[in-house]
Amino acid sequence: MTPSTQPYHHGDLPTALVRAAVELLEENGAAELSLRAAARRAGVSTAAPYRHFADRDALLSAVAAVGYRDLADRLSAAHPARITAEDLAAIAIAYVQFALTRPGLFRVMFVEPCDPTSPERVAATTAIHEYVKSIVRQAFPNADPDAMANAVWALVHGLAFLHLDGKFDVISADAVADRVRAAVYAVLGASGQGPTAPPSPA
């Protein structure tokens, strides 16, 4: 992401600070992210962020909410109205590719401490959970939606972190997609529920 080149002058300061924080995060990782650093990037005084964010965790919560909304957009774009096995695989691939292309943001979403009471973060995470449950209801109409949503998320989330943490080689985007698709098909074939899984790709 291109760093902000113009200092902040007026308008929506919280949004400007979150945008600056996301840029810093993707450049240097979460360890370098602070309210002061975000203020400097946004071109405001180091005291200005405290009018909107009580502490670093509150800022991270707002950053995580950005990530959840971006992830929701990618997942929603990954499948049409009717759910097939390939649609489920496409959703899983979109999730893992999001983690690999935005690793700093992904880790903030799921690893860094955040403010659990942040309305923005709660709304964003709720939207993701409801999205997964809606997919599960379509794909597995006879399954418990909460239990199956947890199982599907655990599978895909585990694949994302296995790739991020170097447990699987990330040779290419196509290789990652093939591995994720094969895992989804394997689970569908073993479950005997939901969309019929086509043969795993070679």
Average pLDDT over the chain, rounded to whole? 84
Instruction: Please tell me the least confidently modeled range out of 1-15, 64-78, 161-175.
Output: 1-15
Asked if residue 39 belongs to a domain, the reply is yes
pLDDT digits (tens, 9 = 90+) for 114-162: 887 888 888 888 888 888 888 888 888 888 888 888 888 899 999 999 9
Crossing angle of helices 35-42/56-76, nearest 10°? 70
| Element housing 173 (H / E) | helix 173-191
Asked if residue 86 belongs to a domain, the reply is yes
Domain coverage including residue 117:
67-191
Residue with tokens 């499948």: 79
Do residue 105 and residue 132 come from a single domain? yes
CATH number of the domain at 1, please.
1.10.10.60
CATH number of the domain at 178, please.
1.10.357.10
pLDDT at 5: 43
pLDDT at 201: 47
Do residue 87 and residue 173 come from a single domain? yes
Do residue 146 and residue 74 come from a single domain? yes
Do residue 132 and residue 46 come from a single domain? no
Report how far residue 13's alpha carbon sits from residue 104's, in angstroms, rounded to the nearest whole number: 23
Instruction: Please tell me the least confidently modeled range out of 13-22, 88-97, 127-136.
Output: 127-136
pLDDT at 137: 83
pLDDT digits (tens, 9 = 90+) for 22-40: 999 988 888 888 999 999 9
Amino acid at site 196: T
pLDDT for residue 170 is more than 60: yes
pLDDT for residue 3 is more than 60: no
The total of structural domains in the chain comes to 2
Asked if residue 62 belongs to a domain, the reply is no
Do residue 34 and residue 73 come from a single domain? no
Do residue 46 and residue 107 come from a single domain? no
